[in-house]
Structure 1
Amino acid sequence: MTRRARMMLLAPLLGLPMLLPPAAAPRAADPAEAGSAAAQSLIEQLRPRTRGIRIPGAEAPAEAPPLAELPPVASAPAAPPPLAIRPDASLASQAVRETAPEPLPPAGGPPPLLGKVAAGATAAAAAPPPVRLTTAPADVPAASITVHFATGSAELSREAVRALAPLGEALNSKTLRPFRFRIEGHTDTVGSAAMNLALSGRRAIAVRELLVRYYGVDPARLEAVGFGDSQLLVPTGAQVPEVANRRVQVLNLGG
């Protein structure tokens, strides 16, 4: 679907006039698929980066060199020099001196090694926890998008349509076109768990229909699932209206 056709379909939802700007002169295709900054950010988040998922068209890893071309193994280190024994000392006294422990630190402070360990533990405890961007497994490419819905409704508002526009652009990119995706609906904790589960499923379906109808994404590439308030991006108590938890999460399922 061309850009002009999408604008004609989205104009009623966005409240835009039907007058369209004149078509721009054709220009050479950009190999980097230049688009909006938001779409480029989603492409980077959703492109496969883990082992086991190979991007189509990526170069195969170089083969290992044959054994004959491998560098020689380094020789074993030389044995330590023999222990020097003074002629005026017995073997027992010499061994005691060679194995004597290091002197203890002065009173009032911990040993040097324990002091370093304690300092490292204190620094680690003081470091703030990392900010979570999604609730997906660490090895799954994913992105979270805050989508505004009316309370208790699965109807996409104009703000929601605008927020999802970069996702439609990203899924149509050359980088993400070979892959399938799961559209997940998530809610905050306001309301019952059963109500939120059903509502999140309807919202995920609404997002999928938008991507298919207005952006021409192949429906076979998209599945919609609702999770309700079971995967909070920002942990809260019950009945807390947290905007960051009312979101849509997109996961790359592979080719």
Structure 2
Amino acid sequence: MRRIIHNTTAIAACMSLLAPHLALAQTEMPEAAADEQMAEPLPLPEAEAEAAPVEDPAAEVTGEEMSTEAPADSVEAEAEPDVEPVPAEEAAEEPAETMPAEEVAEEPTEATPAEEVVEEPAESMPSEEPVTEPTAEPETMEDAVTEEPAQPEMDAAEDMAEPAEDPATDPQALEEALAEETAKENAEDSEMPAEEAEATATEAQSDPVEDPTMPETAPEAEAEETEAAKEAAAATELPAAAALDDDATDGQITEENVTEENSRSSDEDFATSLSDARETATGTDTAAAAQAASSKDDDDNDLGKALLLGLGGVAVGAMLSNNRQVQLSTPDRVVVTRADGSQQIIKDEVALLRQPGSTVTTENFDDGSSRSIVTRADGSKVITIRDADLRVLRRTLVSPDGSSTRLIDETVAEPVDLAALPAPVNRNSATAASMNEDQLRAALLAESAADRRFTLAQIRDIPQVRSLVAPVDIDAITFDTGSAAIKPDQAQELALLGDVIRKTIADNPREVFLIEGYTDTVGSDAANLALSDRRAESVALALSEYFDVPPENLVVQGYGERFLKINRDGDIRENRRASVRRITDLLQSTAN
């Protein structure tokens, strides 16, 4: 009994030391919390304490400790080991939820408050000395104190964090997740690295999306006017040519039977490479160029004869009429430079008609003009009359029954006023491969807004005239670097285009289509101009070889690197391409 009194006296002394600090803690608490604590009832039995709602986990722990009744001997066992007064510094760390000192002072001799006061400092202040637990019941109580209160804290934390982490309720997170998923799907479909696909998705979100169906202005509409364009625009009538006189018989006649061996097919490159032609041009000395320039009149006539006979062009550096200088010379094409620095190509326009089984009869006149008659196995004939520069003056198709169809007539020209031309048509980004038959036919047969006719030279050399009808890109074919050959599997991709053009010509034998060739910027301007013209010829040959398109209804023209599809320098395959335009509505021959 004396021992209990002694312990009680020590406890009362400790509580007297705690009272000032507890009062200070209560003054720092919010007024509502202090009122709630002062109004808190005495500990309830364990069942009632568990049923009561608890807001603060720390308060819940205190309630469980207060509601647990331990045996008297257990209390004495826990109170025996060296109970010393608690220093004021450690007592200040006591949680604010500890029972107020006033309540302890009112019943100093009761076992429950004594148990609470002894156990509370031990729980809140770790001790280096282990506490002996004589029975399993305190162990169960310790489990409840150390484990169960942690769960409400975790649950409360998770409940507070869920709204920010759940992508289903966060619009920004949902949008980011959707963009990431789309990028991954695009990467799988296109076999693109995930990083590249994610970057593409980011760019797609930040950059405005262009509608591929929106029309774009033809680049030819803003092209600079060249010397050849000025000449074509100012022409009123072409110079007289002896070959135009049907009664002329003083020409030199040559005849050739065309076979597989002496004709070229679309899957073959030309016999003379342009790299060899460039080496020849580089090796030309000044003396030879001056000598060639002194005999320009002869060169004008020799140029036509050389190209017609396939003997090779004239010397590089030679001067031709209209102040033109030979820049590149091959047996099939010659490139000349004009006074303004622009370049122009000269070639044999009948080469496309030289198909196996036909006979070509050519009559060359003294003024350099020529008349070529291509006779086919079915008895039909194509008559082409050219001037000294091998420019087509007239082309006529004579059917087996004797009827004739005028396809090209350049004998009369009307000057072109660029300012008076209609606005250029808008071209769509759709290409031949992206259209069905009806769409392709509609694109090719779209009528021009022009209210007049033009010569073939005006259509070829004046970009603003050419842009009055929209081209259709032949995207099924892109050429290898330095090559004009078309592989058979690529040629088969032209099936739809070939069928549409053949049917269109069958409905109207006067139809004329312009096949255009282009290059990238690799190589010299002269070599690229010749190469692009060769590529246009290869496309026309493929249409005739594989799909029976009449070659006399096709005209080929190369434009080198002037009108790039991808406006960037270098080795770009998309720029090594071809296009087709229906120029029937522009040619003045259709008015006859």
Please identify which structure carries the higher helix content: 2
TM interval, shorter chain, is 0.3 to 0.5
Normalised by the size of structure 2, how large is the TM-score?
Answer: 0.22
Normalised by the size of structure 1, how large is the TM-score?
Answer: 0.48
Greater Rg by CA: 2
